[in-house]
Amino acid sequence: MSEQELILEEEAAPEGLQELEQRLNTPRSLLAIDVGSVNTRALLFDVVEGRYRFLAAGVAPTTAGAPMHDASEGVRYALDTLQRISGRTLTTADEQLIIPSTRDGAGADNLASTLSGAPPLKAVAVGLLERVSLESALNLLGTTYVNVVETISLAKRRHIEQQVNTIVKQRPELVVVAGGTDGGATRSVLGLVNALGMAISLIPPDQRPDVVFAGNRALAERVSGFLEPLTQVHVTANVRPALTSEQLGPAETLLADIFRRRHASRILGIGELNSWSGGNLQPTAMSLGRITRFLSLLQPHGALAVDVGASATTVAAGFKGDLRLRTFAGLGVGSGLQAILHSRKLEQITRWLPLEIDPGYVLDYIQNKILTPATLPAERDDLAIEQALAREAMRMALEQSQARFPRNAKRLHPELLPVFDAILVSGAAVAHAPTIAQSLLMILDALEPTGVQQVILDKNNLAPALGAAAPVNPALVIQLILDPISFLNLGYVIAPVVSARTGAPVLRIRIQYETGHSNIVEVAMGDLKLIPLPGGRRARLEIDCFHRADVGAGPGRSLRLERPVIGGPFGVVVDARGRPLRLPGDPRARLETVRGWHMALGR
């Protein structure tokens, strides 16, 4: 199936194929706006020399919160910057967006918008069994920006009084009720719904939550009948239709609708942005998920996207179209540092530092960064701390996401990530590091990829914009998805799972260049090595493994890659530091080791 056919298949449902094909064949410019917690970005895409291109970005501080409390101001500043950089007029004299574009080239044809820069919705998850429906309710809530303030299940039912009091005190904005497989339990579910109704009845009417019922379909009418007099109830497909299957898709869309409506009503400017984008403003995480799912359809082993923001971190893993999305609102490298401090020992953060920095200073730095998340690390020590924190934010998010990855996903080590063909990383802390060597090392340290994988850096945070644009401009998405000009291919990484003494030979790699000549590279345990391959050039690899090293063909088995690899700024990277990655316990040895890694990639 071609890329175009895949997208067509994805997009066929909401409209006819004919209209979609027409849209695919009509060049249309796109303006994408993302309102993040620290920055608001405006991105411009258009056709240049017969191909869609990312043209420019304008960035401004987000103004959704104090003192402006109006997100449209930040949008306006971002658009001003974009207009200055791109030379294209995008707004009228009275600051109205020009959509669609005019004959003289002003404006853009479509607008896609995403939002992550709002306080997470306070949510409650209700399910029957903790490891079944409650887990699915929590998984559903994990697809967008929420703060789960309470969970209710049968196991906790004797604490009904506590649950009622917690709900009344916390005033959730969203409640997801799962429970009962289709055709399964009814009475227990109704019991839980009764407790929920009791609590909701005690909350002032204008502060009551939206309730999403995603449980046993047979109960939908009764649950609606009971709760609708109290609050707004949304019925969607059962997220746990059978004990062993989970189905979040339809409920995810509903959650996006609630997210959009709630934020539009509480943050000035969001409603306007939503209407500019045809009522289709998306949570940034869901848009990233959408593009990751598309990507995974194009790759045999799927795709992984990780976005590290100031207040939230998102992990989207696609396995042949099966998306596993998890958003960690409250985990990030700005205001989200509290979550890292809460879950990590200080040594887990300082282990990544390539400089000697007093641990007390690191703690102070973290606390001050929480208070001033928009500040930048101008000094070397400060930058080293922020990059260490970015590693731990990604590691924490991946650790907690892995439980939702399919069991049959190909893995070379039970504790590590499955093998993905493409890994896409975004977020200013990683993507805007002073050098791309620092970006790559952060990614390798945090994700510990195994086998042979391509690492891509999304320097301009384009992926969520493409995800949001897919319904309005699928042709643009098809052309730009992993376009080497828009996305930076850091290169292919060969990372064996191996345990051997340092210096022992673990890989012999034969690289066959397009020019016809070849080279053999010996790799020893502990090496972080670069094999020359000019950017954009292709080469074929044959990898012999020793000491039971596994790069995807099994322990000790050679691998001949079917597809050529493409060179990046580092050529091809071989990470033979061992998996799982272990750092020396002795502080001096650790420091030397970490410095050695930085040197190996050229700082």
Partner 1 sequence: MLAPVTHISALARIRRRRMLPVPGKVLVRAGQNVAATDVVAEGVLAPEYAVLDVARALGVSPERAAQYTEREPGEALSKGSLIARRGGRSVIAPRDGRVAALSNGQLLLELRSKPFQLLAGIPGTVMEVTADYGVTIEGVGAWVQGIWGNGHINSGPLAVMADGPDDRFGTDKLDPSQRGTVMLGGNCGDRKTLEGAAALQLRGLILASLATPLIPVAARMPYPILVLEGFGKLAMNAAAFKLLSTNAGREIAVDAEPFDRFTGERPEAVIGLPSGGQPPIPLDLENFRVGQRVRLSRAPRPAGVGAIRQLPDGLARFPSGLRAVAAQVEFENGDSLLVPLANIEVIG
- Name which of residues 106 to 125 contact partner 1 (CB under 8 A): 119
Cα dihedral 47/50/52/58 (nearest 10): -40
Distances (CA, A) of 513 to 64, 478, 522: 52, 28, 17
Number of H helices, E strands in the chain: 19, 23
The residue range among 108-116, 284-292, 359-367, 546-554 that interacts with partner 1, by the rule CB under 8 A, is 359-367
Tell me the angle at which helices 436-447 and 380-401 cross, rounded to the nearest 10 degrees. Answer: 40
Q: Name the minimum Å distance from CB 201 to partner 1.
A: 6
Among 17, 242, 355, 376, binds partner 1 (CB under 8 A): 376
| Nearer to partner 1 (CB atom), residue 47 or residue 363 | 363
553/433 Cα distance (integer angstroms)? 34
Write out the DSSP string of 506-562: EEEEEEEETTS-EEEEEEETT-EEEE---TT-EEEEEEEE-TT-BSSS-TT--EE-S
Question: How remote is the C-alpha of 141 from its chain's centroid?
Answer: 15
| Nearer to partner 1 (CB atom), residue 5 or residue 161 | 161
| Nearer to partner 1 (CB atom), residue 226 or residue 513 | 226
Q: Indicate whether 368 belongs to the interface with partner 1 (CB under 8 A).
A: yes
Among 51, 69, 560, 582, binds partner 1 (CB under 8 A): 69
- Residues paired with residue 493 on neighbouring β-strands, in sequence order: 453, 573
Q: Residue 599's CB: how many other CB atoms inside 10 A?
A: 12
449/302 Cα distance (integer angstroms)? 13
Q: Indicate whether 363 belongs to the interface with partner 1 (CB under 8 A).
A: yes
Kindly determine how many residues on this chain lie close enough to bind partner 1 according to the rule CB under 8 A.
Answer: 47
Q: Indicate whether 83 belongs to the interface with partner 1 (CB under 8 A).
A: no
The residue range among 300-308, 377-385, 541-549, 592-600 that interacts with partner 1, by the rule CB under 8 A, is 377-385
| Nearer to partner 1 (CB atom), residue 204 or residue 516 | 204
| Nearer to partner 1 (CB atom), residue 379 or residue 562 | 379
Among 14, 204, 414, 516, binds partner 1 (CB under 8 A): 204
91/83 Cα distance (integer angstroms)? 9
Q: Indicate whether 343 belongs to the interface with partner 1 (CB under 8 A).
A: no
286/292 Cα distance (integer angstroms)? 10
Among 22, 232, 435, 518, binds partner 1 (CB under 8 A): 435
Q: Indicate whether 364 belongs to the interface with partner 1 (CB under 8 A).
A: yes
| Nearer to partner 1 (CB atom), residue 54 or residue 77 | 77
Helix ranges, 106-176 (H): 133-141, 160-170
| Nearer to partner 1 (CB atom), residue 160 or residue 218 | 160
Q: Indicate whether 383 belongs to the interface with partner 1 (CB under 8 A).
A: yes
Joined tokens for residue 578: 């061992």
Among 25, 161, 342, 485, binds partner 1 (CB under 8 A): 161
**Is the distance from CB of 258 to CB of 212 less than 8 angstroms?**
yes
> What character string, x for contact with partner 1 (CB under 8 A) and - otherwise, covers 46-65?
--------------xx-xxx
The residue range among 18-26, 381-389, 453-461, 496-504 that interacts with partner 1, by the rule CB under 8 A, is 381-389
Q: Name the minimum Å distance from CB 172 to partner 1.
A: 13
- Name which of residues 400 to 429 contact partner 1 (CB under 8 A): none
For 236, residues 6+ apart whose C-beta sits below 8 A from its C-beta are 212, 213, 214, 250, 251, 254
Q: Indicate whether 96 belongs to the interface with partner 1 (CB under 8 A).
A: no
Among 17, 374, 520, 599, binds partner 1 (CB under 8 A): 374
Among 13, 14, 16, 66, binds partner 1 (CB under 8 A): 66
Q: Residue 231's CB: how many other CB atoms inside 10 A?
A: 18
* Strand 121-126 relative to strand 146-152, pairing: parallel
Q: Indicate whether 564 belongs to the interface with partner 1 (CB under 8 A).
A: no
468/317 Cα distance (integer angstroms)? 17
- Residues paired with residue 423 on neighbouring β-strands, in sequence order: 304, 455
Distances (CA, A) of 494 to 88, 187, 242, 542, 565: 43, 54, 39, 11, 11
Q: Indicate whether 201 belongs to the interface with partner 1 (CB under 8 A).
A: yes
Q: Name the minimum Å distance from CB 362 to partner 1.
A: 10
Among 164, 175, 315, 340, binds partner 1 (CB under 8 A): 164
The residue range among 5-13, 148-156, 194-202, 410-418 that interacts with partner 1, by the rule CB under 8 A, is 194-202
Among 377, 532, 555, 564, binds partner 1 (CB under 8 A): 377
Closest Cα partner for 357 from 376, 393, 349?
349
For 578, residues 6+ apart whose C-beta sits below 8 A from its C-beta are 498, 499, 500, 525, 526
- Footprint on this chain of partner 1 (rule: CB under 8 A): 60-61, 63-69, 77, 119, 160-161, 164-165, 168-169, 194, 197-198, 201-202, 204, 335, 360-361, 363-365, 367-368, 371-383, 432, 434-435
